């Protein structure tokens, strides 16, 4: 695929890094593994706030992912930092408010790396926060849609680069 190029690094971001962004991190990792592309990607997640730093993934996210055989074991909330901008190819917020906070923390987006996850789908929108809705099923459906669209986009971009 990449003909020896660097690993593609993706950082999923939400407010607390206990619900949506870890869900997106682990769904994306699962998709990548099922496509046998694990050696080509590095995926992580982070928070824009400090409220949940050090806390494990929310029970609702853990239970929803368990239904699909996906574990979040060992994941604890970490905060986004300015240095993450240089370390990742894609910095993906779950909603517009995340993107706004990400740009503040990162000091801007000169390379166009910051997007919402569902901006890659045919129906761009925010991913509802299950912290408030309690609806982890809807969040999972949105996250799955966004991860699939993002992975498709990245693979298409890589294929174009390889044929130039």
> Which one of the listed residues 30, 62, 116, 129 is annotated catalytic?
129
Annotated active-site residue 129? The verdict is yes
> Which one of the listed residues 14, 19, 30, 147 is annotated catalytic?
14
> Which one of the listed residues 19, 20, 30, 116 is annotated catalytic?
20
Q: Are 91 and 84 in contact (CB under 8 A)?
A: yes
Annotated active-site residue 19? The verdict is no
- HSE, side-chain direction, 13 A CA sphere, residue 124: 7
Edge-to-edge, what's the strand order for the sheet holding 114-116?
41-47, 8-14, 90-93, 114-116
Catalytic residues: 14, 20, 129
């Amino acid at each position: 695929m990449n003909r020896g190029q660097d690993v593609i690094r993706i950082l999923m971001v939400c407010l607390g890094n206990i619900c949506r962004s870890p869900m997106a991190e682990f769904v994306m990792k699962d998709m990548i593994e099922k496509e046998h592309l694990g050696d080509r990607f590095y995926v992580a997640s982070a928070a824009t706030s400090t409220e949940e730093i050090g806390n494990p993934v929310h029970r609702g996210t853990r239970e929803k992912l368990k239904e699909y055989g996906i574990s979040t074991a060992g994941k604890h909330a970490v905060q986004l930092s300015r240095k993450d901008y240089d370390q990742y190819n894609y910095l993906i917020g779950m909603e517009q408010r995340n993107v706004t906070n990400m740009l503040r923390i990162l000091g801007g987006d000169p390379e166009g790396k910051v997007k919402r996850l569902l901006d890659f789908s045919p129906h761009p929108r925010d991913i509802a926060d299950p912290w408030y809705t309690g609806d982890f099923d809807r969040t999972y459906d949105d996250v799955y849609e966004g991860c699939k669209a993002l992975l498709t986009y990245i693979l298409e971009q890589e294929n174009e680069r390889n044929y130039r």
